[in-house]
Structure 1
Amino acid sequence: MAGDAETLLNEIDDLADGGDTVSVGDVVDAIGGRGFGPIIFVTALLGASPLGGIPGVPTLFAIILILIAVQILFGRRSFWMPDRIGNRAVTDDKVARSVDKARPAAEWMDRHFGHRLEALTGRPAQLAAALVVVGLCAMIPPLEVVPFAALIPFAAIALLGLAITVRDGVLMVVAFAASAGALFAAIRFLPF
């Protein structure tokens, strides 16, 4: 039986079987009813995948993640996205390849995380995570000049999203520590 992370990837993989392209809006519609955690997790995971090597894509994912984080900070319960971003699409084969590359990590995460110290994943922790996401996303556009350097903040953001999704307080603490490390590493990679 698939766990939380693998189920999300399966839903995205199903989208890739449906046509020529998969839009950002399609992905959000498929996973959006589960709250903000899965959207953060999947968006960051896709940013850390080979899709993140396409010029402009990391910045697009960073903008989406900032939109999500701001909505968390304002207390929204459902996710809203402008059509200009929601209509952006990539070919289904790129999505399928990215999902295949992310699947081993998702399977590992499902085996090791979930439902520990859930109090540490409550509203205050989610607000703090949203602020951290905004900070890390601000680092992504300048990191695009270094190939795959955006992987560093995306990995930390994915951990935050996963911690919220599986309600794992231990993982939330690890994600905050990883975010601090990612911020430090990103600053070192910045081209200025």
Structure 2
Amino acid sequence: MRKTEIRTFQDYRDWPLSTLLDAVDRAATDEKVEMRDILSEIGDRTITPVILVVALFLVSPMSGVPGIPTISAVIIVMLAVQGLMGRRLWLPQRIMRMRIGASTLTRVVAWLRRPAAWIDRNSSPRLQYLTRGPMRMIILLQCAVIPLGWPALELVPGVTSLAAATIGLFAFGLFARDGYFVIAGYIGMIAVPLGAVLLLQVAVT
């Protein structure tokens, strides 16, 4: 499906991850891009794709920008809680007005293209019971809890990116209805704390 054939992400639940990045890329029409511009391309009917996009940004080199992990944590927690409550996506106007340079946005999207292409090639609806009903609620709960420690760990390189990757696996699993990625997310929940301990040891020595 070509970019020109797509109007908003919300109309196509089965878009590949690369096409989701296309939607984000399309928001970069002005010198500065607001959060509301990105949401207008993704759509505001479903929460999971937005959680996925925020997590992907934090996996990228943007995680090293001071304040980004904390802001991302606030957004993900808010969205995950809304998902648990069955509410429609809502973000405060202060967050909706937050801006990022269009050039930065396009660089981040370009950086994510290669891993997104690999994920697209290796994903399909599998073990779908892991992405529905109570299992979906458990995943959203994990997405609400995992970011709570990010503000305190912001100065430790790599930790928030690892944790964001875990949330990205969970969110993509829900998005693509692929239980394999959900399982990978649970593996990440074990691996990230171990990695955080190692990174903290390196940071203090």
Question: TM-score of the superposition, structure 1-length normalised?
Answer: 0.91
**Amino acid paired to 1:159:** L
Q: 1:186 deviation in Å?
A: 3.2
Alignment partner, residue 146 of structure 1: 156
Equivalent residues of 2:36, 2:96 under 8 A apart:
yes
Deviates more, 1:18-27 or 1:52-61: 18-27
Report the counterpart of residue 15 of structure 1 in structure 2: 27
Per-residue deviation, 1:9 = 0.3
Secondary structure at the counterpart of residue 113 of structure 1? coil
Find the residue that maps to 1:73 and give its secondary structure: helix
1:126 to 136, 150, 169: 136
Contact preservation (8 Å) 1:136, 1:183: no
What value does the CA root-mean-square deviation take over the aligned residues?
A: 1.9
Pair 1:45 & 2:38 matched: no
In structure 2, the partner of 1:186 is 196
- From 56, 59, 75, give the equivalent of 2:70: 59
In the superposition, the TM-score normalised over structure 2's length comes to 0.85
In structure 2, stretches of 5+ residues that fail to align are: 3-14
Matched, 1:4 2:33: no
Match of 1:167 in 2: 177
3-state SS, counterpart of residue 150 of structure 1: helix
Kept in 1, the 8 Å contact 2:159–2:195? The answer is no
For 2:43 and 2:192, locate their aligned partners in 1 and report how far apart those are by CA, in whole Å. Answer: 26
- Matched-pair identity in %: 32
1:68 paired to 2:79? yes
Report the secondary structure of 2:30's partner residue. Answer: coil
Contact 1:117–1:168 (CA under 8 A) maintained in structure 2: yes
State which structure, 1 or 2, has the greater radius of gyration over its C-alpha atoms.
2
Structure with larger RCO (C-alpha < 8 A, sep 6+): 1
Q: Which sections of structure 1, spanning at least 5 residues, go unmatched?
A: none
C-alpha deviation, 1:107, in angstroms: 0.6
Per-residue CA distance 1:35-85 (angstroms, 9 max, x = gap): 222111111000111211110011111110001111011112x21100111
Distance 1:29 1:5 in 2: 17
Q: Summarize the Cα distance change of 1:123–1:21 in structure 2 as closer, same or farther, 3 Å threshold.
A: farther
**How many Å separate the matches in 1 of 2:115 and 2:134?**
28
